[in-house]
Amino acid sequence: MDKQKIAGDKVPALPDLFQGEAGGVRLRSARCGTCGTCFFPEYHEQHRPGCSREGVEKILLNRIGKLASYTVQHYMPPPPFRTEKDITPYPIGMVEFPEGIQVVGIMVDYKEDDLVLGREVETTTFTLYRDDKGQEIVTWAFRPKAH
């Protein structure tokens, strides 16, 4: 089985950024075993000055984080952003994970009063478009945590 595939026929628009787990979708990050710096994506390495950069290990971020900020975007960005239809207005959230990192992503399945800083959100996917084979091409996304 193609390990890049996540639940169902969904295919990430770009590889190595997130994966489906039994417990849900999780972002792929990495942490330096020496300086403790956590970075995303796992291939954009960052370290504390002077770090020997030894012992970097790949980790999966917690599925749940807290909304640290958000913006509601009122127009469609140009290519290479691609969606099936105009999705505006759509929120982009900045989510703080317990691993000590904040990550941005599109927000889905929300009501207006869910857009409150500090609110718990969970990682999920958002279908950008379907390719020629009918496969759903997805990115990671955040939605309010089910109560």
Partner 1 sequence: MRNVSIIGVGLHPWGKFPQNTFVELGVQAVANALQDANIKWQEIQAIASGIYIWGGNAGHISGQYLAAVFGETGIPIINVYNACATGAAALRTAYMSVASGQVDVALAVGVDISPEGFLSAKSDNPRQDRDVLRWRMVGMPNPAFWALECRKRMHKYGTTAEDLARVKVILSQYGVLNPNARYRKAYTLEQVLNSPMVNDPLRLFEICATSDGAAAIIVCAADKAAQYTSQPVNIAACTMGSAIYGDPTIRISALSAPAKAEAPMLSESYSASQQAYRIAGIGPEDVDVLELPDNSSWHYLQYLETCGFCGEGQAEQMVREGQTQIGGKVAVCPSGGFSSFGEAIGAQAVWQVVEAVTQLRGQCGPRQVKNAKVAMAQTYGLMGNSATTILTV
Told to check if 77 binds partner 1 by CB under 8 A, we report yes
Residues 10-39 that bind partner 1 (CB under 8 A): 13-14, 17, 37-39
Q: Please report whether residue 72 would count as binding partner 1 according to CB under 8 A.
A: yes
Name which position in 28, 70, 122, 124 contacts partner 1 (CB under 8 A): 70
**How many residues form the binding site for partner 1 (CB under 8 A)?**
43
Q: Check binding of 82 to partner 1 (CB under 8 A).
A: yes
Distance between CA atoms of 105 and 109, rounded to whole angstroms? 13
Cβ proximity to partner 1: between 24 and 89 the closer is 89
Which 118-137 residues touch partner 1, going by CB under 8 A?
A: none
Task: Read off the tokens for 109.
Answer: 């399945």
Query: What are residue 139's phi and psi, to 5 degrees?
Result: -120, 170
Residues 102, 135: Cα–Cα separation, whole Å? 30
Using a 10 angstrom Cβ sphere, with 0-12 exposed, 13-18 middle and 19 or more buried, the burial of residue 86 is exposed
78 binds partner 1 (CB under 8 A): yes
